[in-house]
Amino acid sequence: MEPAEPNVMNRPPNNPQESIFARGLGIYMVRIGVVLAAIAVALMIWAYKHTHQPGYTGDPEGWKTMVFTTLCLAQMGHAVAIRSNTQLTYQLNPFSNKYLWASVILTSLLQIALIYVAPLRHFFGTHIISGQELLVCCGFSSLMFVWVELEKLVAKKLRTP
């Protein structure tokens, strides 16, 4: 649903017979998977220690919900960042893909509902986390967005002599 990038007509056409993993997409998927795993494991280590420290008054099982929330929100950050392979997100018209923004907002709200709406929380087995813990999840998950944007900057520097 994203409009074509400005330089799309300057590029050679893609071979319709090529694999979906051609042109570096397979390597990209592995790289992003590794980054997402690193973010999730780092948050998991922090959250487990945080929820099991002496004097912690929240649910000690909340670390699981924090990891789940971080994974969900990191995917939303990735979706926003990959709107373009070459342009940074701030360079794009924020209103060019309303369906993407609606999906990101709806998914984020549903994730929050899974934590704070009792019937959903019980059905999905999540645990209440504090507002501060939710902010930590947002911070960790935003690292995925930052990573993709940094990759674009590095690629741009490598392309320009």
Q: What is the pLDDT of residues 93-149, one digit of tens each?
A: 988 999 999 999 999 999 999 999 999 999 999 999 999 999 999 999 999 999 999
Specify the higher pLDDT residue, 69 or 161: 69
Task: Tell me which amino acid residue 32 is.
Answer: I
- Determine the pLDDT at residue 29: 93
- Determine the pLDDT at residue 53: 95
Are 5 and 86 a contacting pair, CB within 8 Å? yes
Residue ranges of domains in the chain: 21-159
- Determine the pLDDT at residue 16: 77
Q: What is the pLDDT of residues 1-38, one digit of tens each?
A: 667 767 777 777 777 777 777 767 889 999 999 999 99
Say how far apart CA 118 and CA 66 lie, in whole Å: 17
Are 89 and 79 a contacting pair, CB within 8 Å? no
Q: How many other β-carbons are positioned within 10 Å of the β-carbon of residue 71?
A: 20
Are 70 and 140 a contacting pair, CB within 8 Å? yes
Q: How many other β-carbons are positioned within 10 Å of the β-carbon of residue 148?
A: 22
Q: What is the pLDDT of residues 55-96, one digit of tens each?
A: 999 999 999 999 999 999 999 999 999 999 889 999 999 889
Q: Output the CA torsion 131→136→140→146 (10° steps).
A: 80
Q: Output the CA torsion 114→131→127→57 (10° steps).
A: -170
Q: Can you tell me which residue has the tokens 């990759």? A: 151
Say how far apart CA 116 and CA 50 lie, in whole Å: 20
- Determine the pLDDT at residue 1: 61
